[in-house]
Chains A and B, each alone.
Chain A
Amino acid sequence: MTEPTDIDHDLAAPSRRRFLREGGALVGGAVVAGGLAGREALAARAETDNLPPNVPEWMKAPGDPMGSQLYGTPSPFEKGVVKNIPKNLPQYISASGRTPLQDLDGIITPNGLFYERHHGGVPTIDPAQHRLMLHGLVDKPLIFGMDDIRRFPSQSRIYFLECSGNPVYKKPYGKTASDLVGLLSCAEWTGVSLKLVLQEAGLQAGAKWVIAEGADAAALTRSIPIEKCLDDAMLVYSQNGERLRPQQGYPLRLLLPGFEGNMNVKWLRRLRVAAEPTYSREETSKYTDLMPDGTAREFTFYMEAKSIITRPSGGQKLGAPGFHEITGIAWSGHGKIKRVDVSVDDGNSWQEAQLQEPVLTRALTRFRLPWHWDGKSAVIQSRAIDETGYVQPTLAELLSVRGDNHFYHNNAIWPWRIADNGEVTNANA
C-alpha cells in the first residue's frame, strides 16, 4: 500500500478518521460537516495522487454510512452550483433569484435551483390550516382543504415557468446565461386540472375571468381568462415528485402553462370567478409594457418562443481548439418547439440543431450541435421556431418595434462571443 505523505494529506487525515469513527453512530449535521471538511481537504491534495497508476484515496476506506444525509444534497464539489441572487438590492422581500442555467443539463430544473420571484417574501404555511376558497360566479361557493384538493383526480405534466422580465431591454445586460434568462425553470408538476375544480362549484353564465389570490404578504392577485382555466391550467401541490417547496407556493399554487410567471399564483388561497378582470396593481402598474408612443400593453400573457445556448456561454472558457458540443434550451408558451437553428459565424449562416426527445408542449427542449472550434474568435447564437411557425427575433428586431422602455417579454436571440483565448462573453454587452 502506497500511503501518500504530503502535507495536505496529513492535515486531511484526522478529520477523515474522525468522520469514519463517528459516522457509524451519528446522523445529521455534525457528521456531515466533519465529512465535508475531510473531503475538501482531500480535494486540495496534489491531483496526481489519485490518478493512474495510483489507487484513488476514496477506494481505500469505506465511504459515508447510510443515513449520513436524511435528505440528499449535491456533492461538495458542486457547491458553486447555486441560485444566482442579485447583490446589493435595496430590499429582498420583493425580489427574484435565478436558476444557474449554464450549470445544468437536460430539461428538468432541480427543485433547489428553481428560480424564485416573491412580492412579499416566502410565507411558511401550515397545510392543515390552508384553505382554497372558490366563489363569485359559481352555483356553489366552496372551500377546500389540502386533503380535499388531493382527492381530485391527479395529473402530472412537464412545463416550463418563466418570469416575464427575463431579461429587461435596457443595458447593462448580464454576463452569464443565468444573468440573462435565469428567471426560467422547468419541472414536472402534479396536481388537479383547474377545470375539474371549477366544475365542482359550477360556472355561471357570464364567467369570463378567474381572479387568483395568494396567501402571501402581498396577497398577490392576477386575473386569468376563463379559456385558460378550462384548458390546461392546474392547481399544483407537487413538483418533481415531492411537495412544492415554500419558494414555489407550498402547499398549493396555480400553474398556467406558457403564461408569464407571476400569473402562476403561489400559496393560492382564493379563486373568484368574475365577468371582468380585477385590474390589480400587478396587471396595471406592473407587468404592463410601455411602448415608444406612451401607450402600454396590458394582459400580455404568453411567453413567446425563445432559446439560449448554455454551453459554451458567458463566463465559461473553451480549453483548446477542437470538438466542442454546443447545447442549450428552447421553449415557447405557444406549444412545442419545432426547430432550433444555430449560427457559429455571427449570424451569417444558420444550421439546424438536434432536438432531444421528448419535445413537449410548453416545456424546455434541449438542443445540441456538434462543433469544431478552430481557435479563432467567433460569435455563436441560437434561434427557436415553435409549432405556430413563430421565429425568435433578434434584439435589434425587438427594439425596433417595442423600444427599450418596454420592460417585460423580451425573447431576443442572445449571442455569445468566443475570444481566441477561449473566453466566452455576452456579445450584446
Chain B
Amino acid sequence: MRTREFYVAMFAAAALTCATSASAQSPYGIGRPATAAEVAGWNIDIDRDGHNLPPGSGSVSHGHEVFDQQCAACHGTKGEGGVGDRLVGGQGTLATKTPVRTVGSYWPYAPTLFDYIRRAMPQNAPQSLSNEDVYAVSAYILNLNGLLAADATLDAKTLSAIKMPNRNMFVSDPRPDVKNPACMSGC
C-alpha cells in the first residue's frame, strides 16, 4: 500500500482543487459511489466455495423439466452434446488418447455450474432463468453425471458441499516447460 499512499499524497492537492463528489482519498475525483443495491444487482459472481450463492433451491426432477425445455435442444436430451457442449460422462478418459471433458469428468467445482448457467445460459436468453430453475438444472446435470441422487434438492449449502471428481487434478503453470537448444548449423 506504500505506493498508493505516495500516490494519494502526490495528488492530494490536485484532488482538493478539482474535487467534485469524490472524497479526498481519490486522486482524480472521477466517478461516483456505487450503492450497495447497485453492487448487489450486478455482482453475480459465485466462487468455487459457493460464496454469493442466492437463496432458493431446486430439485433434480424440476431440473429435468427445465432442461428438456431450455437446454436439450443444444446439449441433447441426456446431456450428450450437440450444437452445445457435451455435459455428461467421460469420467476416467482424461488421461487417454480421446479425453471427454464434461461437467462430470472435468469441472473442478460444482458452484461454477450455477454461476455459468445463470450468467450465460440458455445461449438465446441468458439471465432469464429464475434462481430456483438454475439450482434445479444444476441438480439435474449433476444427477446425470452420477454426482447427485435422483430425489435430491440443491441449495446454496448443498451445492457448495459437492466435491467434484476432478477437483484435485489442476496444476499451476510450470512454463517455460519446453526447451529448444537453438542450434545454428549442422542441426
Where the two chains meet, the residues of A that have a C-beta atom closer than 8 Å to any C-beta of B are 90-91, 93-94, 119-120, 133-135, 139-144, 148, 151-152, 196, 199-203, 205, 211, 213, 217-221, 230, 269-270, 272, 274, 276-281, 284-285, 288, 290-302, 304, 341, 343, 347-351, 383, 385, 390-394, 397-398, 400-402, 405, 409, 413
Of A143, A276, A301, A398, which is within 8 A of B31 by CB? A143
Give bound CA distance, A284 to B167, whole Å: 10
Give bound CA distance, A350 to B180, whole Å: 13
Cβ contacts under 8 Å, A285 to chain B: 101, 103, 106-107, 112
Cβ contacts under 8 Å, B158 to chain A: none
Q: Beyond A119-B120, A203-B4, A349-B186, is A284–B31 a contact (Cβ under 8 Å)?
A: no
Distance in angstroms from B76 CB to nearest chain A CB is 13
Cβ contacts under 8 Å, A199 to chain B: 4, 7-8, 27
Cβ contacts under 8 Å, A409 to chain B: 175
Cβ contacts under 8 Å, A383 to chain B: 180, 182
A350 close to B184 (CB less than 8 A)? yes
Give bound CA distance, A108 to B172, whole Å: 33
For the complex, is B25 an interface residue (Cβ under 8 Å from A)? yes
Q: Beyond A298-B170, A401-B178, is A201–B119 a contact (Cβ under 8 Å)?
A: no
Distance in angstroms from B148 CB to nearest chain A CB is 18
Give bound CA distance, A140 to B74, whole Å: 43
Give bound CA distance, A234 to B186, whole Å: 45
A219 close to B173 (CB less than 8 A)? no
Segment of B39-47, B62-70, B135-143 in the binding face: B39-47
Residue of A nearest to B52 (CB): A278
Q: Beyond A152-B30, A279-B109, A293-B95, is A299–B172 a contact (Cβ under 8 Å)?
A: yes
Of B4, B45, B123, B127, which is within 8 A of A211 by CB? B45
B95 close to A148 (CB less than 8 A)? no
Of A218, A295, A341, which is within 8 A of B170 by CB? A295
For the complex, is B176 an interface residue (Cβ under 8 Å from A)? yes
Instruction: Name 6 interchain pairs, CB-CB below 8 A, sorted by A.
Output: A144-B30, A205-B1, A285-B106, A298-B173, A394-B180, A405-B99
Of A135, A144, A294, which is within 8 A of B43 by CB? A135
A134 close to B179 (CB less than 8 A)? no
Q: Is the interface of A mostly helix, strand, loop or mixed?
A: loop
Residue of B nearest to A211 (CB): B45
A219 close to B83 (CB less than 8 A)? no
A391 close to B94 (CB less than 8 A)? no
Give bound CA distance, A385 to B46, whole Å: 40
Give bound CA distance, A366 to B116, whole Å: 40
Give bound CA distance, A323 to B187, whole Å: 25
Give bound CA distance, A142 to B31, whole Å: 6
Of A91, A299, A341, which is within 8 A of B182 by CB? A341
A292 close to B30 (CB less than 8 A)? no
Chain B count of residues within 8 A CB distance of the other chain = 64
Cβ contacts under 8 Å, A391 to chain B: 179-182
Residue of A nearest to B174 (CB): A297
For the complex, is B108 an interface residue (Cβ under 8 Å from A)? yes
B38 close to A151 (CB less than 8 A)? no
A284 close to B123 (CB less than 8 A)? no
The 3 tightest CB contacts between A and B, nearest first, are A294-B95, A219-B119, A141-B34
Give bound CA distance, A220 to B119, whole Å: 8
| A272-B43, A294-B169, A409-B175 known, 4 other contacts, Cβ within 8 Å | A279-B112, A285-B101, A285-B103, A290-B99
For the complex, is B115 an interface residue (Cβ under 8 Å from A)? yes
Of A139, A221, A295, A304, which is within 8 A of B171 by CB? A295
Cβ contacts under 8 Å, A272 to chain B: 43, 45
Of A203, A218, A401, which is within 8 A of B177 by CB? A401
Cβ contacts under 8 Å, B34 to chain A: 133-135, 141-143
Give bound CA distance, A168 to B169, whole Å: 22
Residue of B nearest to A214 (CB): B119
For the complex, is B126 an interface residue (Cβ under 8 Å from A)? yes
A393 close to B126 (CB less than 8 A)? no
Cβ contacts under 8 Å, A120 to chain B: 120, 123, 126
B94 close to A392 (CB less than 8 A)? no
Distance in angstroms from B174 CB to nearest chain A CB is 7
Give bound CA distance, A220 to B116, whole Å: 9
